[in-house]
Every structure is written in C-alpha cells, then in structure tokens.
Chains A and B, each alone.
Chain A
Amino acid sequence: MSEIDNKDAVLILTDDRYTPASKTSRFIMQALRRLGIRAWVRDTSDVRYLFKTLEAKNLEKHLGASGMIHVDRFKSFVDLAGVQSILSLDLHWLFTPEPFCSNDKIKKIVSLWFDDLRTACTSQDAIKPTDRSFQETIGHQKVHHCFYGQAQMDEGKLLGITNTHFSQLAAPLEFAQRETDDLRHPKKLAFIGNPGIPTPPSEKILNLLNNKASLKELRKASAMDLLQNPSMDHFRKLHTNIPKIIEQAIEQKLHEPYTSALQLLLKQEKNFPGAFDALNKSGNVLEAAILIRLVNRYDRPALVHRLYQHGFVRVFSAEDEWKPYGIEAKPLIRFHDLCRVYRAHIAHLNGANSARDATANEKLFEIAACGRASLNLTSPDILKAFDSPTEIIACDTLEELESKAHDLLAQPEQLLEIGNNARQRVIREHTWDKRIKTLFKSLP
C-alpha cells in the first residue's frame, strides 16, 4: 500500500482501565485521527476478569455462552464501525482467542509491544501461553508484532512468530506542541517512574549503592545473587546443563549488557548441548532469559540513587518501591499532569527497565517531546534514536553521570538547548503520528 487508506478504521484495545497513568492508547488514537483514520479505544479488562473468574471457579462450561455475549458485542462494533484493523499494546486484543482472527472483516491485527512476552503473559487476567491456542493465535498470519527491541524480537521468533517488525516507541505530538508550562525547577532533575523490578534490594546491594559502587560492581553483585536463585535447582532437574548455560549467559551479560538474554543463551548452546532445547521444550526459556536480564536490574535504581544522594533529582511515583532504596518519592504523576511535570524540570533522568532487555523506552521520547534533555546510560538503541550530546546526554558510568549532572545543572541554557534539539528530532522522526504512518504504510 503506497498511501494510508482513509477508509480504514481502527479499533484500539487496551487492558488498562484501572491504571491511572495509562495514556498511550489514547495518544495512538489521536495520531490515527490526525491521519484521517477513524479510531476508537475500548478496554478488555472487565471481560478478561469475568473469563478468569469463571475459569478459577471451575465454571468453564459457562465460558462459551458468557463469552459469546462479549464476543458478539465486539463483532457488532466491528460491523457497525467498519473496523478493518485491530491495534493494541502488547496482546491486549487477545482476551479470548477467537473474535478477531476468524472475523473476515478484520484484515490485520497489530500488537505494539511495550512489555516483554513473559511479563505480558503473566500479568493479571492475561491469557496464559500454556492455553492451547495461544501460539497459534499470536502466530496467525493476520497478526503483526511490532517490537522496539531485539530481545522482544528474539522472544517472538522463539514462539514461532514470523510476522515481526521493528518499530521504536514514540511520543505524542501534543507533548511536542505544548509551550505553556513554567520551568519551576531550573536547578533540579526529575525521575518519573518505578525502580524497575519491584522486589526490594538486599542489604549488600544497599551498601554498595550507598558506597557509590560502579555499575560493573552492581551488575556483578546482582549476577552473584542470581546464581543463588532458587529456580536454578528447578532448572537442574530439567537438564543438568541448564544451570551451566544460564551461568555462562549471566557471565556474558556482564560483558555485553545490551545483548539480549536469549542471544546470550543461544551463543552458549554449542558449549552445553541439550540445555537450550530442554529449556525451550519445557516452556522455561523465557524464565531463564529473565534471570539473565536481571544482571542489569540495579542500573535504573543506581542511576537515580546516585543523583538523589547529591540532591540533584526529584523522584516521582511508586513511593513504596523507592522507600527500600532510601529514596522518598513523590506521588504518582497522572497522565494529565505528565507533560507539565516534564516541562517543570530542567532535565530528566531516564533508565530502562531491565526486564524489557531494551533501552529506548517511551519516556526517552516523551521527555524529548517536552523540550527537555534526558540523562541516560549509553546504549546502542538510545543512540539510534537521539544524538549525544546534542540531543540527549548519554553516560557510560555512574561517575560520568554524576559529573555531567553536576556540570550541566550549572548551565541551564545548555540543557534547554539540548532539550530543544531533542524536541525538534521528535517532531521530525519520533511522534506517534510518524510511527503509525510508517507502520500502516508498510503493513499489507
């Protein structure tokens, strides 16, 4: 298709009606509408919950008839609105296997991945990958998976998905057009978000953080903890070589923090015959991958902790999760206030969630869209999206981060210039409008 078909109509399905910070589905809807494509956002959370309730109470026999009430309503919506495409973050469209793959009116289903597959499948009320038709459904020819990181791409392939596309995350155009907010904190950075993995750090890690340990030391400590993880015993029972392949992959992750966990496992395959296959066939390969990713689990909290210690940064959101790090976070930012808070600070810290195994997160683009500079750990994905140091600031170490933060906070004009450059780059390349346009042009 050479141009976007204006007759297309897109139903965006979400699973976030109980999440106050949810926003992306709405941004995508607005982008589609600006492109002249009719679009609606609808939620599947309550339907998922009903299905799970009936299943949990052993009332699956009622699932058919009950499910049909909801499925018929979706079908009726598709018919009335002339919907041809389903789009959703992750697998939010997949609340029951049937409704869209078998509907002739639906030409394509697009999954825009934010989470990793394992997290998506273990989230509340999600369809579990062990369900019989799961792989068949996600691998259906109508379904297109758009990943923003190589790790997700690798996982998708492992599950038999061939219809994959690389697509970075993005920012809403509305953020890039907003000018009105005051810069209320010209001498403070902000970090908005949680520490990544919700489990609190051990005493040993806290000591390292407080003693200004380097990233390498923290990753090493994390790797040591992971080798003691109780799941290693479980893996050993599956195949004697599995703990060995994981150990080697963990060791390798220390040297290649931005290589995906799955690729590291595959690299070791020849050294530990049978291990990868056993992990894969037993449905444990993504569990193993998450262990390897956790080598980087303290990257984000360390980034925040280091600058918090100096009073450089204000932290927002997930107060309970930050408390164990000795960080007093301010309350969650509602999406309504997000742009205002971004613009209220001179610059922002940004750190990826290690569970994703991908670093160019949505916040990277949103901060930039708001005309603010972000300080990040250097990674190939981030440098693909923005130039450092003209559009963002990328640091290889915590020491470098600390020193740059110190210097730049003394030069607010320079930070604002970097922020402005970042915003221009977003307008040129990284809005949801651009992504959606590219995506809809490239999909059959």
Chain B
Amino acid sequence: MNQPKSILIYSHDWSYAFTKTTEFLGEACESMDIPTLIRDSCDVRASRLITETLDNEEITQDFEDEISRRINTLVYDHGIDCIIALDLGWLFIPDLFLKNPRIKKIYSIWFDDFISWCGTPNNAIFPYRQNSFQEVITHPKVVHCFYGKAIGREAARLGVKNQIHSNLAAPQSFLEHNFPCTIDNKMAFIGNPGCRQEPSKQIIKCMKEGATLDKLRNLSCQEITGAIHKGIWKWTKEHPDIKKLLATAVFAKREMPYTSALEILEACGEDYPNAINYLNDHSRILEAAHVIKFVLRYDRPAFVNHLYQKGLVDVISNEHEWKQYDIQASPPIIADKLPQYYMKYPAHLNAANAIRDATANEKLFEISACARTSINLNSPDVAACYDGSNEIYLANTFEEAEEMARTILKDPDTALSRGKRCRLRTAHEHTWEHRIKKFFSLKNWE
C-alpha cells in the first residue's frame, strides 16, 4: 500500500488533560511504521489572538512568518509529506501547509460540526480570514473525513467535494487492557449532557415524571418554534418565509430523527424556495440546520436521567452540567484512566450529542474495545457498526433501555460475553489503524 513517508499530526487541545485521540492516531500511524510527530496548534492560535489585539499588523505578520519558518523547517527535516488533524486543527496559518510542496495531503478527521468548530474560542482563522476560509478548506490537497452524513452534507454546502465517509474508532491499546469488573449492580454513563444550554423547568419536570422520548422531542420542538417566533435568532427575521421553513423542518426532524438536519431543511426548502435560497446566499444555512438539530437535544440527558432515577446507572464527568438535571455526577476521568473505568462496569449507556447530527460516536467504539457492551438508542449508524442482537443493545424507547439495563444487571456474565464480542468486532474492524489504512488506500494517497 502506498502511504505517507512521515506524518505530522496537529491537535488543538494542548491545555486539556482529557484529550486522547491525537495520541491514538499517532500510535496507529507508528504501528504502520510511519514516522509520526504530534504537535498542537493551541498556543499559536492563542498567541495569534494576542498579537492581533495589539492592533499591530507588523507583529502579527512577523509572528506568523517566524512560526511558518519553524514549521517548514520541521517539515523539511522530518521529511513530512502528510498532515492529519482533528477537525481543522491544522488550519492556523492558512497557506502554511497548502503552499508547501512537500505536503501532499492534509486529512481533516471531523469530530465537531462546522458551526461548533468555527465558534470555538481560539479558532481564529474563521474571523481572521473569513474570505479565504472556503478556498482553504476546499483546496485539492485537503481530504475531509466525516463520520456522519450530516457533517458531510454541511461540508458539501461549503463546497467541500474531497470527502470520505469514515467512522470514528478505538485505539489498539484499549484492546489489550484487562481490568476487572468490580461493580456489577450498576451501569455507567461517562460524559456530558450534550448541549450546554440550560434545560427549562418544564423539561426537567417532564423527565422526572418519566416522559417518553417522543414527548421530550415534541416539547423540544415547541421550545424551538417558540424561540423562532420570538425572534431569538435575529436572522430568522430577514426573510418572511424563514420562520415557516424552520417550523416545518423542526417537526420533520421529530418524525425523522436520524435524517440530517440539513437534508430535512433542503427537502422542506422545496416548499419555501425563497427562504432556503436566502439562507444559503446569506451564509445562514448551517446556522438554520444547527437550530433544527436541537430537536434531539434532550435525547441524551433524558436517556441518562431515566436510568439514573431508577438507580441503574452511575454518571461520571461534568458534574456542574448534570446538576441542572438533578443528577449527581462524579468527577471526570482523565484519558489514561478511561479503560479502567469502562471495565469496572459490566455495561455502559451511550448516546450521541445531538449537535453532531451523527450517532456513532467515539465512545461507542472505545467501550467496545474495552470488552464492554453498551445500550444505545437505535439509530442506523450505530446499528451499522455493531450487531444489536449479540454485541450491543439498541433501544427504541427509554422503557426498552430500562428493561435491557435490568437484564444486564441481573445477569452481568451474559453482558460481559457480549462485551467480548464487541471487542472482537472492534479488533477486526474498528481501530484507528483500520481507519488510517483506509485514508491511505491507493485511491486517497498517491
């Protein structure tokens, strides 16, 4: 197989102690005997923001020039011909890698969606060179790897043609851990509630009263349409048909929860052509899709909340965010302790973050790699990765999930056997090495 001579992986998470994926990618590349360096761009981004605030173009330019010089020297010395980054972690000096003839390909492995990425602090590139953003991300050297159709569709709207579908994955090293299962009367959920916005009192009350998934999605639709009518998002007032288009799309999402928000918006746009054209022409279409994604925002917290109330699950991480759902979570787990925690329990809950509009998240693979099964909400993406009848559990309702959890806790050995099959499947199909090999298959790397 053709493969790069040497890889530089850029992460964007330097100051975060919970990061892990860039290191996993590095291990996968090294296991393929490709010399690999991992660097992060966080300091450069932050420093660039600082120099820009000085309002002194000369300093900003000098800074950019010197950092470019140093990185180009590293690229030369190490014989680097390929860049890999999560999201657009490589994009901190726009022309740097694009103009360097030694760099043949740049792979963006998407975890975030575009709107979330561009709205993250220190992603200075978006406001800084807004005009060239599309030009840069659609450059022929850049390959975008998306794990959900929604992100790919959003990218296509931005003109990104060079894209491949690639599931997320687990590190090979997780397959090798063998920590004991020491808690057999509880499952666990490790993670945050997804959307950071505070839930309304009505939602919390409904969750406590055992509202169904359908009811919560319906309530969410009402909250969103209410906000649209109130004009919370100012751009919704810019064309008379936008509110109608959004309202139609929001309820359509409720009916088709695993169809991407953008696809729904485009379909509904056939009835409101002026509105959809306006959104597209005025660069609002991704923001509109973002609003529609909120329909599922309570899926994850409600799923966790339902089993938590029944005493079936321990919730770990993001204590303050869970507090608003009346859930007492324990402190976050540092990345290197994750396998230990996954293996401590006989099984896990897993649910996607609604904002991604994609359900086969990284945790699905990591839990499996640690030889544990998971209960997930039934979605086509998750079902495509693992078998719902003997590897993972796929629930259509909270009640079904509760029943599955009780079955697991009644007979943890059976759950552990499923976990073993999850591990096997992961070893065969779902490690980062599998993904990286796919990236470099002849079609993509030559």
Chain A: residues with CB nearer than 8 A to chain B? 9, 17-20, 33, 38, 40, 42-43, 45-47, 49-50, 53-54, 57, 59, 62, 66, 69-70, 73-74, 76-77, 80-82, 332, 334, 336-337
Kindly provide the distance from the CB of B68 to the nearest chain A CB, expressed in whole angstroms: 11
Q: How far is the CA of A81 from the CA of B62 in the complex (A)?
A: 34
Q: How far is the CA of A46 from the CA of B39 in the complex (A)?
A: 11
In the assembled complex, B136 has its CB within 8 A of some CB on chain A: no
**Known contacts A49-B66, A73-B15: does B36 contact A20 (CB below 8 Å)?**
no
Q: How far is the CA of A50 from the CA of B16 in the complex (A)?
A: 20
Given A20-B78, A33-B336, 14 other A-B residues pairs in contact with their CB atoms under 8 A: A9-B334, A18-B74, A20-B77, A42-B14, A46-B67, A49-B63, A53-B62, A57-B56, A73-B15, A76-B15, A77-B15, A77-B16, A82-B334, A334-B78
Q: How far is the CA of A435 from the CA of B78 in the complex (A)?
A: 29
Q: Which of B17, B39, B43, B78 meets A47, CB within 8 Å?
A: B43
In the assembled complex, B388 has its CB within 8 A of some CB on chain A: no
Kindly provide the distance from the CB of B369 to the nearest chain A CB, expressed in whole angstroms: 18
Which of B46-54, B175-183, B188-196, B270-278 participates in binding chain A? B46-54
Kindly provide the distance from the CB of A215 to the nearest chain B CB, expressed in whole angstroms: 32
Residue of A nearest to B33 (CB): A336
**Known contacts A59-B54, A337-B35: does B67 contact A77 (CB below 8 Å)?**
no
Beta-carbon contacts under 8 Å, B2-41 to A: 6, 14-18, 30, 35-37, 39-40
Residue of B nearest to A9 (CB): B334
Q: How far is the CA of A53 from the CA of B59 in the complex (A)?
A: 8
Do residues A43 and B50 form an inter-chain contact, with CB atoms below 8 A?
Answer: no
Do residues B47 and A46 form an inter-chain contact, with CB atoms below 8 A?
Answer: yes
Do residues B70 and A18 form an inter-chain contact, with CB atoms below 8 A?
Answer: yes
Do residues B17 and A53 form an inter-chain contact, with CB atoms below 8 A?
Answer: no
Q: Which of A42, A49, A69 meets B46, CB within 8 Å?
A: A69
In the assembled complex, B444 has its CB within 8 A of some CB on chain A: no
Q: Which residues of B have CB within 8 Å of A336?
A: 6, 30, 35-36
Q: How far is the CA of A17 from the CA of B6 in the complex (A)?
A: 16
In the assembled complex, B71 has its CB within 8 A of some CB on chain A: yes
Q: Taking each of A17, A74, A77, which has the highest tally of chain B beta carbons within 10 Å of its own beta carbon?
A: A17
A-B contact list, 6 entries, CB within 8 Å: A20-B78, A45-B43, A47-B43, A50-B47, A59-B54, A74-B15
Q: Which of A38, A45, A70 meets B336, CB within 8 Å?
A: A38
Chain B: residues with CB nearer than 8 A to chain A? 6, 14-18, 30, 35-37, 39-40, 42-44, 46-47, 50-51, 54, 56, 59, 62-63, 66-67, 70-71, 73-74, 77-79, 332, 334, 336-337
Q: Which residues of B have CB within 8 Å of A80?
A: 16-18, 332, 334
Residue of B nearest to A81 (CB): B17
Q: Which of B40, B42, B63, B332 meets A50, CB within 8 Å?
A: B63
Do residues B50 and A62 form an inter-chain contact, with CB atoms below 8 A?
Answer: yes
Kindly provide the distance from the CB of A317 to the nearest chain B CB, expressed in whole angstroms: 10
Q: Which of A9, A20, A69 meets B50, CB within 8 Å?
A: A69
Kindly provide the distance from the CB of A26 to the nearest chain B CB, expressed in whole angstroms: 9
Q: How far is the CA of A50 from the CA of B50 in the complex (A)?
A: 9
Q: How far is the CA of A42 from the CA of B17 in the complex (A)?
A: 10
Q: Taking each of A9, A20, A43, A76, which has the highest tally of chain B beta carbons within 10 Å of its own beta carbon?
A: A20
Q: Which residues of A have CB within 8 Å of B62?
A: 53
Q: Which residues of B have CB within 8 Å of A62?
A: 50, 54
Do residues A334 and B6 form an inter-chain contact, with CB atoms below 8 A?
Answer: yes
**Known contacts A40-B17, A74-B15, A336-B36: does B79 contact A50 (CB below 8 Å)?**
no
Do residues A334 and B35 form an inter-chain contact, with CB atoms below 8 A?
Answer: yes
Shortest 8 CB-CB contacts between residues of A and residues of B: A336-B35, A81-B17, A46-B43, A20-B78, A73-B15, A50-B47, A20-B77, A18-B70
Q: How far is the CA of A99 from the CA of B73 in the complex (A)?
A: 30
Do residues A17 and B39 form an inter-chain contact, with CB atoms below 8 A?
Answer: yes
Q: How far is the CA of A20 from the CA of B51 in the complex (A)?
A: 27
Q: Which of A20, A47, A70 meets B74, CB within 8 Å?
A: A20
Q: How far is the CA of A284 from the CA of B74 in the complex (A)?
A: 34
Q: Which residues of A have CB within 8 Å of B43?
A: 43, 45-47, 50, 70
Q: Which residues of A have CB within 8 Å of B336?
A: 33, 38
Residue of B nearest to A73 (CB): B15
Kindly provide the distance from the CB of B31 to the nearest chain A CB, expressed in whole angstroms: 12
Q: How far is the CA of A19 from the CA of B30 in the complex (A)?
A: 18
Q: How far is the CA of A76 from the CA of B17 in the complex (A)?
A: 9
Q: How far is the CA of A382 from the CA of B319 in the complex (A)?
A: 54
Q: Which residues of A have CB within 8 Å of B66?
A: 49, 53
**Known contacts A53-B59, A332-B77: does B16 contact A47 (CB below 8 Å)?**
no
Q: How far is the CA of A82 from the CA of B337 in the complex (A)?
A: 13
Residue of B nearest to A65 (CB): B50
Q: Which residues of A have CB within 8 Å of B30?
A: 336
Q: Which residues of A have CB within 8 Å of B67?
A: 46, 49
Q: Which residues of B have CB within 8 Å of A82?
A: 334
Q: Which of B15, B44, B50, B337 meets A66, CB within 8 Å?
A: B50
Q: Which residues of B have CB within 8 Å of A17?
A: 39, 74
